[in-house]
C-alpha cells in the first residue's frame, strides 16, 4: 500500500490507519506511543492487521469521512451489490475500542475478514481463546477482545470468517483493548457510540471560526490536528506513526508519536486562530507540567504525558515500510539543543493571550526562566529545527527564533502589563538582530544563509518575515525568497535544504522529498508579498497532493510522485491552515510584517 492509501481514525488517545482495501495495518493501544498490536504497515500481515471487505480483497470504490467527523466510510461496488464499512474509534472515558460496522447498501455482497493480533509491534503471537462466542487475545500486559456478529475460525495463526450482507443489514464488529490482568470490559452499544461520536465531532467543528476560502480543506486539517491531540493531558503528537520513510528504502525513519514543542506550538497557533482556545488552555497546562523544573532541563520534545526519556530503539524484526530500515521507536532528537523552540513557545503563549486565553502567573514565571536561558545560550551552535544529526551549527533560523522569544517577551510586557527586565530584553533583541544581519546574510548573493559562514540555503529562512524579524518586502527578504525559489525547488515544491552528495548538513545518507510545510510557508510569504496568483497556484498544487480523504504526510517525493514520511503529519496540516488564512487576507502594505 502507498502511504496515501491510508485513512486515519482515532479517539484522541490513539489512532489507527485503515488501508483502502479495508485492512487496519497500524494501531497502537492504549496510547499513541504504546507498542502496536497491528504493525503490518512496517512489515507484513504477519506483524498484525485486521482486514474486513468483500471477499477477493480489492480497493474500495470510494471512501470519505462523514462530513465534519473522523468517521470513515469505505464503499465497494461489486457485481452483486454495494457494501459500506463504517470505521471509527469512539472518544473514550473507558477502554479503547475500534468499531467497524458493515452496512449492506444494495444487493447482496459476500464479505470476509481476517484478524491477526500481534502485540509488541508485530512480535508477540498471542494466546487466543473463544469465550461466549467472542475472541480474546492475550499476550503479556495486553488483552484484546473481538465482539463479532459472525464466528471467526482459527488457522495459520489468524482468525477468519466469510459471511453475506444484504441491503439493510448492519453488522457491528468491536475490537476492545484492556490490560490483561483486568476483567473483560463492558461491551459498548455500537450504534449509540456512532451517534455520539458523530455529534461530538459535529459540535467541535461548529465552533470553527474560519470563514475564508478552501474551508473544506482547512476543516479537514483541523479535525486531523484535533485527532492528534492526546485528550487526557493536552499533549499533541507530531504524527501517529513511526518510521514511515522520508526516503523510500532509506534510513530516514523516525518515531513521531511524541509531543514536540515546535510542532505542538505551531499546531496550537492554527487551532487558536480558528477559534479553539480550549485546546490552547489544555496545552498550556500540559506545557507547564512537562517543563516544570530548571530551565536548562527544557527538552525539545516529551512523551504525551510529559515523559522525558524517549530512548531510541531499533525493531530489527520488522522489515520496514517498503524495506526502509531501521524501524525506530523512541527518538534521540530528545537530547538535542534546538534554540528555535524558545521562540516558538514564547510566540504561542503570546498569541494565545492576544486571542483571549486568561493570564496565568505560573506561565509567566516559566516564560521568564526560559528567557534567562535564551540570554545565556542564544549565541551557541545547535541542531536547529531540522534536528540534524551532523555537527551543531549557528543556524540562522535558530537565532531568528531567539530574537522572536525576546520580541514576544517585550510585547507581553507592553501589552499585558507583565513585569520583567524589559530594557535588557530590548537591548538583547537588537544585539541578536544585528548579529544575524551581519553573520547570517550574504550581501554578494543577497540572501540569508542556512548558518553563519555557510553558502547553503534553508527553507526555514522563509520564517524571517513570518515571525516579523524583517518586513516581507525588505530587499534582503526578497533576495532570500528569490534564492529559495531558484535553488531549493524540486518539481515546483520546496526542499528543506540542499541534499547534494557533497553536502553533509544533516549527517544522514540518502535524499528526501520536498518538505510540505516549507511549500506552505512559501505560499504565505507570496500572499503577503502580494503575489496572490502565484500563491494560489502553489497552494492548489499542494492541495492536490492530499489523498482522497484529505490527508498529507510529512513530505512529497517528486521522484516517485508519492507522499513520504510519517502520516498524517501535523507539521503539514498546520501550515495548510495558516496558508489558507493568508490567502483570505488582503496583501499587507509596504513595510508590513506578518505578525
Ligand X SMILES: OC[C@H]1O[C@H](O[C@H]2O[C@H](CO)[C@@H](O)[C@H](O)[C@H]2O)[C@H](O)[C@@H](O)[C@@H]1O
Burial of 433 (0-12, 13-18, 19+ CB in 10 A): middle
Q: How far is the CB of 395 from ligand X (least distance, A)?
A: 12
Among residues 238, 405, 466, 481, which is the contact residue for ligand X, using CB under 6 A?
Answer: 238
Residue with cell 466469510: 162
When binding is defined by CB under 6 A, the residue of 331, 347, 352, 449 that contacts ligand X is 331
Contacts (Cβ under 8 Å, ≥6 apart) of 214:
539, 543, 580, 583
Sign for the CA dihedral angle at 298, 304, 307, 308 comes to negative
467 binding ligand X? (CB under 6 A): no
Minimum CB–partner distance for residue 248 and ligand X (Å)? 15
> CA 248 → CA 4, 172, 384, 563, distances in Å?
14, 37, 24, 10
What is the footprint of ligand X within residues 253-272 (CB under 6 A)?
254, 256, 260, 262-263
Nearest residue to 310 (alpha-carbon basis) of 297, 321, 318, 299: 299
The DSSP code for 395 is B
Of 103 and 512, which CB lies nearer to ligand X in the complex structure? 512
Query: Which x/- pattern over 563-582 shows residues binding ligand X (rule: CB under 6 A)?
Result: --------x-----------
Q: Which stretch binds ligand X (CB under 6 A): 192-200, 251-259, 436-444, 471-479?
A: 251-259
Q: Least distance to ligand X from the beta carbon of 401, Å?
A: 12
- Please choose, out of 181-189, 362-370, 380-388, 424-432, the segment that lies near ligand X by the rule CB under 6 A: 380-388
Shortest Å, Cβ 34 to ligand X: 19
What DSSP line would sit under 164-198, residue for residue?
EEETT-EEEEEEEEEETTSPPPPPP-HHHHHHHHH
Distance of closest approach, residue 353 Cβ to ligand X, in angstroms: 24
Query: Stretches 345-353, 371-379, 384-392, 437-445: which one binds ligand X (CB under 6 A)?
Result: 384-392
Instruction: Tell me whether residue 523 or residue 564 sits nearer to ligand X (CB atom).
Output: 564
Number of CB atoms found within 10 A of residue 19's CB: 22
Is the bond preceding residue 211 a cis peptide, omega within 30 degrees?
no
Q: Cis bond leading into 479, ω under 30°?
A: no
Contact in structure between 469 and 414 (CB atoms under 8 Å): no
Which part of the chain contacts ligand X (CB under 6 A), choosing from 126-134, 386-394, 425-433, 479-487?
Answer: 386-394
Closest to ligand X by CB, 387 vs 407, is 387
Does residue 385 touch ligand X according to CB under 6 A? yes
Distance in Å, CB of 529 to ligand X, minimum: 25
Closer by beta carbon to ligand X, 176 or else 324: 324
Grid coordinates of 114 = 481476517
Number of residues interacting with ligand X: please give it, by CB under 6 A.
15
> Helix/strand/coil (H, E, C) string of 27-55?
EECCCCCCCEEECHHHCCHHHCEEEEEEC
Q: By CB under 6 A, what part of segment 266-325 binds ligand X?
A: none
Least distance to ligand X, CB of residue 256, Å: 5
In the complex, the smallest distance separating the C-beta of residue 331 from ligand X, rounded to whole angstroms, is 5
Backbone angles phi, psi at 184, to 5 degrees: -55, 130
Establish if 11 lies at the interface with ligand X (CB under 6 A).
no
Q: Residue 389, interface with ligand X (CB under 6 A)?
A: yes
Any contact of residue 553 with ligand X (CB under 6 A)? Answer: no
Contact 358, 285 (CB under 8 A): no
* Least distance between ligand X and beta carbon 512 (Å): 7
Identify the residue among 33, 73, 387, 555 touching ligand X (CB under 6 A).
387
Q: Whole-angstrom Cα distance, residue 307 to residue 114?
A: 36
Using alpha carbons, select from 593, 12, 556, 590 the residue that is nearest to residue 244.
556
Nearer to ligand X, 177 or 260 (CB): 260
Q: What is the largest CA-CA distance in the chain?
A: 78
Which positions touch ligand X (CB under 6 A)? 238, 252, 254, 256, 260, 262-263, 331, 333, 385-387, 389, 506, 571
Amino acid at each position: 500500500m502507498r502511504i496515501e492509501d491510508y485513512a486515519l481514525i482515532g479517539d484522541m488517545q490513539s489512532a489507527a490507519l485503515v488501508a483502502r482495501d479495508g485492512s487496519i495495518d497500524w494501531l497502537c493501544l492504549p496510547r499513541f506511543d504504546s507498542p502496536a498490536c497491528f504493525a503490518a504497515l512496517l512489515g507484513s500481515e504477519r506483524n498484525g492487521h485486521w482486514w474486513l471487505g468483500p471477499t477477493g480483497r480489492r480497493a474500495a470504490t470510494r471512501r470519505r469521512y462523514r462530513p465534519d467527523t473522523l468517521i470513515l466510510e469505505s464503499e465497494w461496488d461489486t457485481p452483486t451489490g454495494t457494501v459500506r464499512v463504517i470505521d471509527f474509534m469512539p472518544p473514550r472515558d473507558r477502554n479503547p475500542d475500534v468499531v467497524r460496522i458493515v452496512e449492506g447498501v444494495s444487493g447482496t455482497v459476500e464479505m470476509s475478514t481476517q484478524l491477526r493480533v500481534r502485540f509488541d509491534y508485530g512480535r508477540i503471537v498471542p494466546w487466543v481463546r473463544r469465550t461466549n462466542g467472542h475472541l480474546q487475545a492475550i499476550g503479556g500486559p495486553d488483552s484484546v477482545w473481538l465482539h463479532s456478529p459472525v464466528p471467526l475460525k482459527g488457522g495459520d495463526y489468524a482468525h477468519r470468517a466469510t459471511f453475506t450482507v444484504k441491503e439493510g443489514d448492519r453488522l457491528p464488529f468491536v475490537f476492545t483493548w484492556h490490560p490483561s490482568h483486568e476483567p473483560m470490559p463492558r461491551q459498548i452499544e455500537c450504534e449509540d457510540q456512532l451517534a455520539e461520536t458523530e455529534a461530538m465531532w459535529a459540535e467541535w467543528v461548529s465552533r470553527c471560526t474560519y470563514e475564508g476560502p478552501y474551508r473544506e480543506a482547512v476543516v479537514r486539517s483541523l479535525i486531523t490536528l484535533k485527532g492528534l491531540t492526546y485528550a487526557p493531558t493536552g499533549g499533541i503528537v507530531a504524527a501517529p506513526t513511526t518510521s514511515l520513510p522520508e526516503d523510500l528504502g532509506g534510513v530516514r525513519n523516525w518515531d513521531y508519536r511524541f509531543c514536540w514543542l515546535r510542532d505542538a506550538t505551531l499546531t496550537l497557533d492554527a487551532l487558536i486562530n480558528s477559534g479553539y482556545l480550549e485546546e490552547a488552555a489544555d496545552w498550556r497546562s500540559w506545557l507547564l507540567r512537562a517543563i516544570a523544573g530548571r530551565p536548562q532541563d527544557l527538552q525539545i520534545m516529551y512523551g504525551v504525558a510529559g515523559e522525558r526519556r524517549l530512548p531510541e530503539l531499533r525493531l530489527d524484526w520488522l522489515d520496514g515500510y517498503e524495506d526502509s530500515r531501521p524501524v525506530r521507536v523512541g527518538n534521540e532528537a530528545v537530547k538535542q539543543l534546538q534554540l528555535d523552540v524558545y521562540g516558538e513557545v514564547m510566540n504561542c503563549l503570546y498569541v494565545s493571550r492576544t486571542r483571549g486565553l486568561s493570564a496565568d502567573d505560573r506561565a509567566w514565571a516559566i516564560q521568564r526562566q526560559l528567557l534567562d536561558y535564551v540570554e545565556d545560550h542564544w549565541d551557541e551552535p545547535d541542531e536547529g529545527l531540522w534536528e540534524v544529526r551532523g555537527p551543531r551549527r549557528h543556524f540562522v533560523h535558530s537565532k531568528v527564533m531567539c530574537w522572536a522569544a525576546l520580541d514576544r517577551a517585550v510585547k507581553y510586557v507592553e501589552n499585558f502589563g507583565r513585569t520583567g527586565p524589559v530594557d535588557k530584553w530590548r537591548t538583547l533583541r537588537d544585539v541578536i538582530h544585528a548579529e544575524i544581519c551581519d553573520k547570517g546574510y550574504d550581501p554578494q548573493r543577497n540572501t540569508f544563509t542556512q548558518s553563519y559562514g555557510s553558502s547553503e540555503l534553508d527553507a526555514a529562512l522563509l520564517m524571517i518575515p513570518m515571525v516579523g524579524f524583517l518586513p516581507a518586502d525588505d530587499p534582503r527578504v526578497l533576495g532570500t525568497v528569490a534564492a529559495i525559489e531558484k535553488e531549493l525547488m524540486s518539481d515546483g515544491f520546496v526542499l528543506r535544504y540542499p541534499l547534494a552528495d557533497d553536502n553533509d548538513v544533516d549527517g544522514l545518507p540518502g535524499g528526501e522529498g520536498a518538505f510540505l510545510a516549507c511549500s506552505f510557508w512559501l505560499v504565505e510569504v507570496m500572499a503577503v508579498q502580494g503575489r496572490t496568483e502565484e500563491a494560489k497556484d502553489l497552494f492548489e498544487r499542494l492541495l492536490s497532493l492530499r489523498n482522497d480523504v484529505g490527508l498529507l504526510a510529512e513530505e512529497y517525493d517528486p521522484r516517485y510522485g508519492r507522499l513520504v514520511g510519517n502520516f498524517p503529519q501535523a507539521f503539514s496540516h498546520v501550515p495548510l491552515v495558516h496558508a489558507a488564512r493568508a490567502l483570505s487576507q488582503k496583501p499587507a502594505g509596504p513595510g508590513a510584517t506578518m505578525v
